Structure formats: C-alpha cells, structure tokens
Amino acid sequence: MTGNMACYLFIDGVLQELHWFKQSYGSWFLGDYVCEDGRLYTATPVDPVFILLPIFEEARMKKGDDLGMFRQLDEIVYIDGYPGYHSLLSIAEKSMQIVCDLKEIGSIKFFRLNDLKVLRWLTYKVHQLKKAIPTLDKNYAARDEKDTLFDAVSIVGEYLKEEPWLNLLCSKFKLNLQEAVNSQDTEVVLHSNGSGPSSFNPVQESNKVDKKTVRTTRQTKKAKVEENSKNIKDMFSRAARKGR
C-alpha cells in the first residue's frame, strides 16, 4: 500500500475495502422518517496482494542486487502492533504464490517476493482495468486508448508505493510518473473479471503483456459524450480519506 490510511473489512475469507460516498445534497427515507445524513458506505472486494505486498517486500530484506531471504509465512504476516495482518494468514498463502518464489522443506513453505512476478501481475491488472473502463459510461468510451491506459495505471497506482512499484509500472507503459501520482486525488470503484488472484495465470500472461502494450494505429470511432453525466471518479472516496 501507499502508507495512507484506509479501512478494510475481512468477512468470510474475503478482504473488502470500505468506501464512502456523499453527494452535495442528499438524504435517506427510512419508513416515515427522513434521515438528513445522505452518506453511503460500501464495501468492495480488493485483491489481498495489494495489501500484503509491502510487508512481503520488507520481509525479504533485499539489498542491492541480492534477491533477499526466503521467510516462513507466519513470520512475514506477524507484525508487532498490527494484529490485523495476522488475520489474513488464511488467504495469504494462495494469494502471494502469484508474486513470490516458493521453497518447500518438508511440510514447511518459505516465500520470497519476486520483482518480475510482481510487475507481471501489476501489468495484468492494468490491462484488465483498461478493458473495463470504457464500459463504465459514454464519457469513458469516448476517450482514446492512451488516456484510458493512463487512467488504469493511475487507479492501480492508488494501491502502490511510488518506489519501486509505481515507478516500474510507469516505465513499463512509458508513462510520466509524476502525472500518474498527481492524478490520484480521485478514485474509482471497479468490478472486473481480473479482480481475484485466481484469475491471473502468470505463464499465459507472460506471452501477452508486450503484445497488448502496442497501441493500434487504426482510428476508432468515438462515442458521443453524454451531456450532464457524472464522472464516476468524482463519486467515490476511501472512507479514511473523507476529510480531504
């Protein structure tokens, strides 16, 4: 994560991010009563890899060109003063195998974060978002491919530290890092088929990444922008950031 505070729920083995929504004017009808507070809280599933990535990065104790150490899972997720991480132990093993090297000695498994696997996984997330964004509304459908790619990287970047991951991701797609950072004042809630770790096949995706980044030269017809429609990025903010 970025180091900014956010709220999460862990229910029935599913990690969810808490979002806060409020229009300038709004209220709720509750039976015969009117609730003046028109705020709405929603919980949406989030890939645990985003949450666990920073602690796995630190746990390997990588220095320079050294790849770092293999560590047991319970050692990695046990962080003094942050018991919430340990509650994710039940889903950490399956989730983090996608981005880690794995060693087994007897019945004990040892994990070490792999930079190339992380970048491949992040690239996959960007491509999934890039396909989903134009389906949101006509405003997004009217944007060109480069702008849509920039939006996708910015959204994924909401969950990453600038160094090394967002920097590597911007370099991968040849985007300006500072512009991606500045665009993160707004957020979006998306449900895509690629939101879960089980949907990512690192072997198959390694052959697809470079081909997908090539921008087509054929001009596509832009949809007419719908008047008075709202930008979905302006509708949601993380619960912990509602004071901004």
232 touches 188 (CB < 8 A): yes
Helix or strand (DSSP H, E) at 73: helix 73-77
Claim: this prediction has a pTM higher than 0.85: no
Counting other chains too, the contacts that 35-39 makes at CB distance below 8 Å and 24 or more residues apart are none
Model pLDDT for residues 90-125, shown as the tens digit of each residue: 999 999 999 999 999 999 999 999 999 999 999 999
Extract the runs of DSSP E, i.e. beta strands, from the chain. Answer: 8-11, 14-21, 28-30, 33-35, 40-45, 71-72, 100-105, 108-113, 237-238
214 falls in which pLDDT band (50, 70, 90)?
Answer: very low
Query: How many whole angstroms separate alpha carbon 160 and alpha carbon 163?
Result: 8
Question: Quick one: pLDDT at residue 220?
Answer: 36
